[in-house]
Amino acid sequence: MQLGVGLPSFSSESHALPPHRFEGYVQMAEEFGFAGAWLIEHLTESPTYASSLLDPLSTLSYVAGATDSLPIGTSVLLLPLRDPVLVAKRAATIQHLAGRRLTLGLGTGYVEAEFDAVGVPMEERSARYLEGIELLHRLFHEEVVTFDGKFYAVEEFRLEPSLGRPPRILAGGGGHDTDEGRRIYRSVKSRLDYADGWIAAPGPMDAVRGDWASFADYLESTGRDPEAAEKVALQYLHLVPGEDGAVARQQRNAYREMVGPARSAEYAMENWLSGTVDEVREHLAAYEREGFDEVILYPVTPDPAAAERQLRRYRDLLLPAFG
């Protein structure tokens, strides 16, 4: 299993890395040997994060220009907010100009203000996601596409630039807890029909394990080998060397600064990576045992020096065991 790194692309006034520090950060990530540089997306400041974020595809273009060969991806891009034809065009262009494969991790979105801002009814998000990911897949894999859906339609459309190897698609989404146990809607499972694999959201390992078991059963039912699907996990981490008490206190303070009003530091401690260095290594080893190909580690600090310090800690304390 490899480790990727999330890029702290905070865009609000109080949480923003200056462009030159951001460039230095991505160059450090490449120099240190991380498996990829990834960007999460929010169009507006959400109730669950204390910052808005830069546009992911525009920022990945910048990252590609500042590095030589560092793999790049979104973790995740909110597909229902966009026309999938334009997403395909921008993705193909970035991959062509960057000379490296782009990964599109795709999410549904959950902040109503973001849907209001682009005039998309939030109740259509799941249907738009499923239709959009199907169209994206066909645009990447077919020479000429005719598609007539409820939300999107093209006739004899040819995506340019043409690519010998299309961008990779990872479908985001998972289950939710009910009185009868954890449940994943079939509409969420069927996203994997048009994806190369799954990108898992942060959460307890029991939930991640259960979600993948449901996805694997679905893939088998459709004649696909679950072992052939790629699996990437997103996680947040404020890594602190030291003893239990000091570690927990520093992590809780860091997470409190980054969560929005809808979440608490305790929620972050339960769902994000936490604990001593040894405990974090064991959490990552659990992902490895579950067959994940990569875990993306996102720093949660808006301070440039602290973000770089976190990157060095990831390199020194985690990369030797995973990479």
HEC secondary structure over 240-261: CCCCHHHHHHHHHHHHHHHCCC
Other beta carbons within 10 Å of 20? 9
Given this model, what pLDDT does residue 13 score? 72
Q: Domain containing 32: what range? A: 2-321
More confident call, 11 vs 173: 173
Given this model, what pLDDT does residue 10 score? 85
Structure tokens at 263: 């979440």
The pTM for the full model equals: 0.96
Given this model, what pLDDT does residue 178 score? 82
The tens digit of pLDDT for each residue in 259-312 reads 878 788 999 999 999 999 999 999 999 999 999 999 999 999 888 899 999 999
Given this model, what pLDDT does residue 147 score? 98
Q: How far is CA 78 from CA 114, 143, 236, 251, in A?
A: 10, 25, 19, 28
Residue 145 maps to which CATH number? 3.20.20.30
Amino acid identity at 113: A
Which neighbouring-strand residues pair with 199? 172, 232
Number of domains the chain contains? 1
Calculate what percentage of the chain has a pLDDT beyond 90: 82
Model confidence band, residue 258 (pLDDT cutoffs 50, 70, 90)? confident
How remote is the C-alpha of 270 from its chain's centroid? 19
Structure tokens at 186: 């079939």
Closest CA to 168 of 98, 65, 79, 71: 71
Which neighbouring-strand residues pair with 2? 294
The tens digit of pLDDT for each residue in 191-216 reads 999 999 999 999 999 999 999 999 99
Calculate what percentage of the chain has a pLDDT beyond 70: 100
